[in-house]
Chains A and B, each alone.
Chain A
Amino acid sequence: MIGIVGYGSYLPRYRIKVEDIAHQWGKDPETIKRGLLLKEKTVPGIDEDTITISVEAARNALKRAGIDPREIGAVYVGSESHPYAVKPSGTVVAEALGIVPDVHIADYEFACKAGTEAMFVSYSLVKADLMKYAMGIGSDTSQGAPGDALEFSASAGGSAFIFGKENVVAEVLETYSYATDTPDFWRREGAFYPLHGGRFTGQPAYFKHIIGAGQAILEKSGFKPSEFAYAIFHMPNGKFPLTVGKKLGFKKEQLEPGWIVPLMGNTYSGSSPTGFSATLDVSKPGELILLVSFGSGAGSDAFIFKVTERINEVRDRAEKVKDMLENNRIYLDYGQYAKFRGKIIMAE
């Protein structure tokens, strides 16, 4: 049996409400909230970035796995906000976890699906018997330009998954990936904020790929939507994943535990992985979970997991996503948020 032996997430404590961003730019908050189904989003602390979020998520995954970190043969960090352009995030993460030096490390980038890429490669290496354990992380401190629609959703957080063959919490039953060249969202080298194609990011990008991957994995596996306890689709806003769920034949109740975007925002590479982590937090042995990511550019990775008895043993070893989302929140106004996100030009 190959699957996840430990999982963990981390969300910063800071938040900004949709009202505060809308007020800043003279927009109607109720229209935004109704249109995007968002209430607030996470904001990284002034001393947090993709690396610190990855370390905290990975520490939670290790607590649940209960393994010696030195047995992990690969550490992959998927993000579109790696702090360095040249120097891997993964080396800092692996060093902090005590995994170095006998380890393969790489950073992944594919817009919002870099996290599931890291998961897919980790799973594949374990399946190929090249290593006992491999860790895939999806983590981001997402960028959104001031005044842009993305600013209402771009948030911070991440999740880590350790794959192995022993003491599996969620077995991987099937995987499928779907990708084309689609210029829906991009950030050129050296540019601070990403740009996007507006409505073009919907039908030809998000919906085409995520539905394409979803339909293909259902066909490949032979499972029907009704056989799944839960499904998670990438969450650029609140509305898109609900639309995808409906089109693929899932009910809203199946999406609910992983549909954390109204309070979390879009954590880009950490979005669907953290929705999956929140779903594992409430899942029961024997339940099937469908996870489909989406990354602009564009592509989707799909996984089918079957939860094992071990979930009951490891679930409470680390903080759950719902608790991170709902407890100990510190709210920022727009000025504080702009300072935290480096949006204010300071004197040299």
Chain B
Amino acid sequence: MPSPRYWRETPQRYRLEAAKCKQCGKISFPPRLVCLGCGNKDFDTVKLSDKGKIVTFTTICVAPTQFTEEAPYSIAIVELSDGVRFTTQVVDCTPEDLEIGKPVKIVFRKIQEEDKTGIICYGYKAVLT
């Protein structure tokens, strides 16, 4: 991931900051410039809950280059307690441990390294609770 893009996304990746529409209340994560619900452009910044559950998941066995050491690993769509859904890796478990509906907690982890001399990108992942 190029450094400037990674840097621009740190509020959402580090602190789960989302955009809540001032008009219709819809929460966008990642934040958007225009609300998908009503087209409004005014938002409040809100911090999402760090608790949720697995909506669905899959296992990656043939991983992209920068993730080969982690394979096989699980990717899930997680729904947080405030209703927001996003895709994230579920770690500290085997693919067999996952089930739809299982509760998860969002944690702070290393996502990838540009290479051994590049920047380290951090962000959110989920763990089973």
The stretch of B29-37, B78-86, B104-112 in contact with A is: B104-112
- Picked from A48, A84, A96, the residue with its CB within 8 Å of the CB of B15 is A96
Residues of B near A98 (CB, < 8 A) are 15, 47
Chain A, Cβ-Cβ closest to B107: A56
- B111 near A47 with CB under 8 A, answer yes
The 0/1 profile, CB within 8 Å of A marked 1, for residues 73-111 of chain B is 000000000000000000110000000000000011111
What is the CB-to-nearest-CB distance from B57 to chain A, in angstroms, rounded to a whole number? 17
6 additional A-B residue pairs with CB within 8 Å, beyond A52-B107, A95-B14: A14-B92, A45-B91, A47-B110, A48-B110, A55-B108, A56-B107
Give Cα distance in the complex from A7 to B41, angstroms.
40
Quick check: is A49 within 8 A (CB to CB) of the other chain?
Answer: yes
Would you list 29 pairs from A and B whose C-beta atoms are within 8 A, ordered by A residue?
A14-B92, A45-B92, A46-B69, A46-B70, A47-B70, A47-B109, A47-B125, A48-B109, A48-B110, A49-B110, A49-B120, A51-B110, A51-B120, A51-B122, A52-B107, A52-B108, A52-B110, A59-B108, A83-B120, A84-B120, A92-B122, A95-B14, A95-B15, A96-B14, A96-B108, A96-B122, A98-B15, A98-B47, A339-B69
Complex: chain B residue closest to A58, CB-CB: B108
How many angstroms from the CA of A96 to the CA of B69 in the assembled complex?
Answer: 26
Cα separation A329 to B10 with both chains bound (whole Å) = 31
Question: What are the interface flags for A79-106 relative to B under an 8 Å C-beta threshold, 1 for contact and 0 otherwise?
Answer: 0000110000000100111100000000
Nearest chain B CB to A33 CB, angstrom units = 27
- Residues of chain B within 8 A (CB-CB) of A52 are 107-110, 122
User: What is the interface size of chain B, counting residues whose CB is below 8 A from a CB of the partner?
Assistant: 16
> Is the CB of A330 closer than 8 A to any CB of chain B?
yes
Q: How far is the CB of B27 from chain A (nearest CB, A)?
A: 18
- Counting CB contacts under 8 A, is A13 at the interface? yes
- Chain A residues touching B, range: 20 to 34
Q: Mark A32-68, 1 if CB is under 8 A from B, else 0.
A: 0000000000000111110110011001000000000
Residues of chain B with a CB closer than 8 A to A330's CB:
92
Q: List B contacts of A48 (CB < 8 A).
A: 109-110
Chain A contact residues: helix, strand, loop or mixed: mixed
- A13 in contact with B108 (CB, 8 Å): no
Which of chain A's residues 90-143 have a Cβ closer than 8 Å to chain B? 92, 95-98
Query: How far apart sit A204 and B69, CA to CA, in the bound complex (Å)?
Result: 42
Docked complex: B1-45 residues within 8 A CB-CB of A: 10, 14-15
Given A47-B70, A83-B120, A96-B15, verify A56-B108 contact (CB < 8 Å).
yes
Write out the residue numbers on chain B whose beta carbons fall within 8 Å of the beta carbon of A96: 14-15, 108, 122
Determine the chain A residues whose CB is within 8 A of the CB of B108 once the complex forms. Answer: 52, 55-56, 59, 96
Q: Which residue of A lies closest to B14 (CB)?
A: A96
A59→B120 CA distance, assembly (Å): 21
- The answer for the CA separation of A14 and B111 in the assembled complex, in Å, is 18
Closest Cβ of chain A to B43, distance in Å, is 18
- Chain B's nearest CB lies how many Å from the CB of A21? 21
What separation, in Å, do the CA atoms of A96 and B121 have in the docked complex? 12
Query: How far, in angstroms, from A143 to B14 measured CA to CA in the complex?
Result: 27
Q: State the CA gap A213–B125 with chains docked (Å).
A: 42
- Taken residue by residue from 333 to 346, chain A's Cβ proximity to chain B (1 for < 8 Å, 0 otherwise) reads as 00000010000001
Q: Which of A154-212 contact B (CB under 8 A)?
A: none
A53 to chain B, nearest CB (A): 9
Nearest residue (CB) in B for A55 is: B108
Chain A residues with CB under 8 Å of B107's CB are 52, 56
B129 to chain A, nearest CB (A): 10
Which one of B47, B111, B122 has the highest number of Cβ atoms from chain A below 10 Å of its Cβ? B122
Residues of chain A within 8 A of B47, CB atoms compared: 98
Contacts of A95 in B (CB 8 A): 10, 14-15
Q: Within the assembled complex, what's the spacing in Å between the Cα atoms of A339 and B68?
A: 12
Q: Which A residue's beta carbon lies closest to that of B50? A: A59
Within the assembled complex, what's the spacing in Å between the Cα atoms of A48 and B108? 9
User: In the complex, how many angstroms separate the beta carbon of A42 from the nearest chain B beta carbon?
Assistant: 12
**Closest B residue by C-beta to A53:** B108
The smallest C-beta distance from A173 to any residue of chain B, in angstroms, reads 34
Residue of B70, B108, B110 with most partner-chain A CB within 10 A: B108
Residues of B within 8 A of A14 (CB): 92
Return A49 CB to nearest CB of chain B, in Å: 6
